[in-house]
Amino acid sequence: MFGDSARGRSLRRGGGGGRGLGRHPVPFTPRRRGYDSPMRRIARFAWVLLRLLPFLIAFLRDRRRWIVVGRPARRRSGHHERRAARLVGTIAALGPAFTKLGQMFASRADILPEPYLSAVGTLRDQVPPASPDAIVRVIEKELGGRLPDLFESFDREPIAAASLGQVHRARLDGRDVAVKVLRPRVEQRVALDVDTAFRIVFWLNVLFPNHHMRALANVIREFSVKVREEMDLRVEAENTRRFRRAFARDRAVRAPRVFDDMTTRHVMVMQYMEGIRIDRLGDRVRRGRPSASLLMERLSSVYLRMMMMDGFLHADPHPGNLLVAEDGSLVVLDWGAVIEVPRWTRQSLLGLSMAVVREDIDGAIGAMYRLGMIGPEVSRGEIREAAAEIVRVVEGARKDGQAGRRRVQESVREVLDTFYTWPLMLPRELVYLFRTLVLLEGIGAAYDARFDSFAVFRRVVGAHRGEILRTAGREPVAIAKDVWSETSGLVRSARELLVRAERENLRVRVHPRDIQGIERSLTLLGRRLLLSIFAASTAVISAIIYISLDNVWVLAAGLLAALVLFLVVLVVPAHLLDNPLRHARGLGSRRWQP
């Protein structure tokens, strides 16, 4: 046990004042301790690429037998399952950053097909705890005092340990608290691995540009932002306070209180919350205290309110972050990463949902454009087919769900399969929403095999219908104003179009992107033509030299070079003849920017 007036002495000595913002070290840069030295970056890139290269080649051969040409290779399901198991082992061996990145792909069926999707879902963010002495040094440096002066007692064994940090139980001013601490030097290690991941995806996008590679780049970019937020515990503290404010009047939902004066970039002290993991309630749920349906309704209501009304969403929904207290209230932990959902995004998501339910394909396409799901290179025909497929899947899910024959997970998988098949970009808000729906259904089904997730979600949405419509601006009055405004604008535009056509003053403009496409096609055609001329010239020159010198080796070398060039012209895809530097613009900066 430590001294009783620990906290007071700590603050008098200058530790932790000003909400923890005064004593934290300068934001890290990977250059510290040599983590950003060129040789270290090159070595890490080479090592990671060497470990992943067999899988990259195998995936490319699945699409084209000879990587750049040929039909897709046919493999048995057992072959893919064995490869998926090896891939998971390799990712886990690459370190915590790649493990967390792999976890993000567990809900991205628009990028990974089965069985790889299920395999990466088994990745666990569990690592041995850091040295207790190292953790104590971090706490004392951040809070500006010796550990006995900071806490009455401190358990050196962590109650939870993950790749970025760990949590210890302590006692402060007669109350139990949880002390979350980042691992020493974890920022530099993660920065190096994020930089490595960006470099690998950059070259993949250069060599094999398609919508899957763009989605992959978006996931890694999102991961770099998310993990940066998770490594600043002040962000988690603010997110926790925000959730507590939003649900201050709801006694059935809680989050830990944060001690602002003992929170810094690398250390956060918060209230210790007692409870049982939501997936380990066992007999309590079976006895109906609380019932599975009531628990799922409460949890669904929390996430629906966060997303559609409060505009922020818990980005790491898994059973370890959800506890049920003794009084039955729900405790939500780990607010390190939060997804902001702007009002216009909520409106577009609601518009997409309503259009799909009404089977309004044109309305769905408009909402998809507003959400950035459609790239400029996608044709209108492809868009209509993709939208029609989504409408078909959702309509089938709705009918089967009403009959009790459908699971949410099956419906989500079918929708995501559409994104994998068609060149559509999946908004990150939908990714986390789908993850939450699947999680809720999985927990409910674990306690009750007859658990009807569709019925629960319908009740929750019905209970909040008015608030959702009001928040998203879809009340009858607002809809009428929008319709009137759009109708008036359409009439004015039609009148202006007719007047211009009558005066023969109608002009058609070509979008700059179309001009760039035409220019690029002509450039590639010219490069192919130049290569062909060069190949023919090489063959002719070799023949002339052979006639002059009577050297068969010169002729053979020249004809071989000409043959190689002809094969390049005939076989190599056009995009590989393009300037590779132009693809860098699509990926943004490849460097970690703290």
The CATH number of whichever domain residue 146 belongs to comes to 3.30.200
On whether the CB atoms of residues 272 and 256 are closer than 8 A, the answer is: yes
Whether 499 is in a domain gets the answer no
- Is residue 22 within 8 Å of residue 29, measured between CB atoms? no
**Whole-angstrom Cα distance, residue 175 to residue 393?**
52
Residues 328, 449, single domain; the answer is yes
Instruction: Compare 479 and 159 and report the one with higher pLDDT.
Output: 159
Look at residue 153 and tell me whether its pLDDT is greater than 90.
yes
**Element containing residue 515 per DSSP (H, E):** helix 512-549
485 within domain boundaries: no
- Quick one: 198 and 327 in the same domain? no
Q: Are residues 440 and 295 in the same domain?
A: yes
Q: How far apart are CA 33 and CA 216, in angstroms?
A: 30
Q: Which of 423, 455, 474 is the last residue of a domain?
A: 474
Residue 71, number of CB atoms within 10 A of its CB: 9
Residue with tokens 């503290």: 237
Q: Which two tokens stand for residue 323?
A: 């506890």
My answer on whether 197 and 179 are in the same domain is no
H or E stretch including 495? helix 476-502
Distance CA(312)–CA(119), nearest Å, equals 29
pLDDT number for residue 288:
64
If asked whether residues 166 and 209 sit together in one domain, one would say: no
Question: Of the given ranges (17-31, 507-521, 524-538), which has the lowest mean pLDDT?
Answer: 17-31
Q: How confident is the model at residue 22 (pLDDT cuts 50, 70, 90)?
A: very low
Q: What angle, 0 to 180 degrees and rounded to 10, lies between the N-to-C axes of helices 343-357 and 380-402?
A: 70
Is residue 161 a part of any domain in this protein?
yes
- Which range (240-254, 347-361, 388-402, 518-532) has the least confidence? 518-532
Which residue's structure tokens are 């932790």? 16
Is residue 564 a part of any domain in this protein?
Answer: yes
- Quick one: 266 and 362 in the same domain? no
Per-residue pLDDT of 334-372, as tens digits, reads: 998 888 888 888 888 888 888 888 888 888 888 888 888
453 shares a domain with 384:
yes
Is the model's pLDDT at 17 over the cut of 70?
no
Q: What is the pLDDT of residue 427?
A: 84
In-domain check, residue 299: yes
Residue 7, pLDDT above cutoff 50: no
pTM, whole model, 2 decimals?
0.74
Q: Mean pLDDT highest for which of 62-71, 90-99, 276-285?
A: 90-99
In this predicted model, which residue has the larger pLDDT, 516 or 211?
211
pLDDT at 503 over 90: no
Q: Do residues 350 and 407 share a domain?
A: yes
The pLDDT, as a whole number, for residue 316 is: 81
The answer to whether 71 and 64 have CB atoms below 8 angstroms apart is yes
Is residue 92 pLDDT above 60, yes or no?
yes
Q: How far is CA 495 from CA 452, 489, 492, 521, in A?
A: 53, 10, 5, 38
Question: CA separation (Å) from 408 to 27, 187, 326, 389?
Answer: 42, 37, 30, 17
Say what the pLDDT of residue 413 is. Answer: 79
Tell whether the model's pLDDT for residue 469 goes beyond 80. no
- pLDDT bracket for residue 379 (50, 70, 90): confident
439: number of Cβ within 10 Å: 21
**Of 97-111, 268-282, 393-407, which gets the smallest average pLDDT?**
393-407
Residue 309's CB is within 10 A of a number of other CB atoms, namely 16
- Please tell me whether residue 312 adopts helix, strand or coil conformation: strand
pLDDT recorded at residue 3: 43
- The answer to whether residues 222 and 344 belong to one domain is no
Mean per-residue pLDDT for 80-100?
A: 90
For residue 401, give Cα distances in angstroms to 293, 419, 448, 457: 16, 22, 17, 11
Same domain, 400 and 320: yes
**Closest among 499, 588, 586 to 211, alpha carbons compared:** 586
pLDDT for 581 equals: 47
Check residue 83 and give its pLDDT. Answer: 92
Given this model, what pLDDT does residue 46 score? 93
What pLDDT score was predicted for residue 570?
A: 62
Q: For residue 405, what pLDDT band results from cuts at 50, 70 and 90? A: low
Same domain, 417 and 350: yes
Residues in the chain: 594
How many C-beta atoms surround the C-beta of residue 34 within 10 A?
Answer: 10
pLDDT, greater one: 367 or 378: 367
Same domain, 571 and 449: no
| pLDDT over 80 at 491, yes or no | no
Most confident of the following: 81-95, 278-292, 336-350? 81-95
Please report how the helices 96-104 and 211-230 are oriented relative to each other, as an axis angle in degrees rounded to 10.
120
Q: How far apart are CA 429 and CA 345, in angstroms?
A: 9
pLDDT for the residue numbered 332: 93
* First-to-final CA distance of the chain: 39
Q: d(Cα 229, Cα 594) in Å, to the nearest integer?
A: 10
Separation in Å, CA 220 to CA 194, 330, 459: 8, 32, 36
Lowest pLDDT segment from 157-171, 343-357, 573-587: 573-587
345-359, 462-476, 543-557: which range is least confident on average?
Answer: 462-476
Q: What is the pLDDT of residue 594?
A: 46
**Domain count along the chain:** 4
Range of the domain at 533: 512-587
Burial track 140-157 (b if 16+ CB lie within 10 A, e otherwise)? bbbbbbbbebbbbebeee
Of 574, 544, 572, 579, the closest CA to residue 558 belongs to: 544
The amino acid at 382? E
- Domain C-terminal end among 253, 273, 293: 273
583/109 Cα distance (integer angstroms): 24
Among 461, 453, 459, 450, smallest CA distance to 411 is for: 453
Domain membership flag for residue 496: no
pLDDT at 392: 86
Cα gap 355→362, rounded to integer Å? 8
| Residue 213: closest CA among 359, 423, 487, 479 | 423
Say if 348 falls within a structural domain: yes
Compute the average pLDDT of residues 577-591.
48
Residue 292 falls inside a structural domain? yes
* Cis preceding linkage at 290, omega within 30: yes
More confident residue, 492 or 355: 355
Residue 442 has pLDDT above 50, yes or no: yes
* Out of 21-35, 202-216, 292-306, least confident range: 21-35
Band of residue 429 on the pLDDT scale cut at 50, 70, 90:
confident
Q: Which of 230, 262, 289 is the last residue of a domain?
A: 230
| Range list of H helices, 361-475 | 361-370, 380-402, 408-421, 428-447, 453-463, 465-471
Average model confidence (pLDDT) across the chain? 78
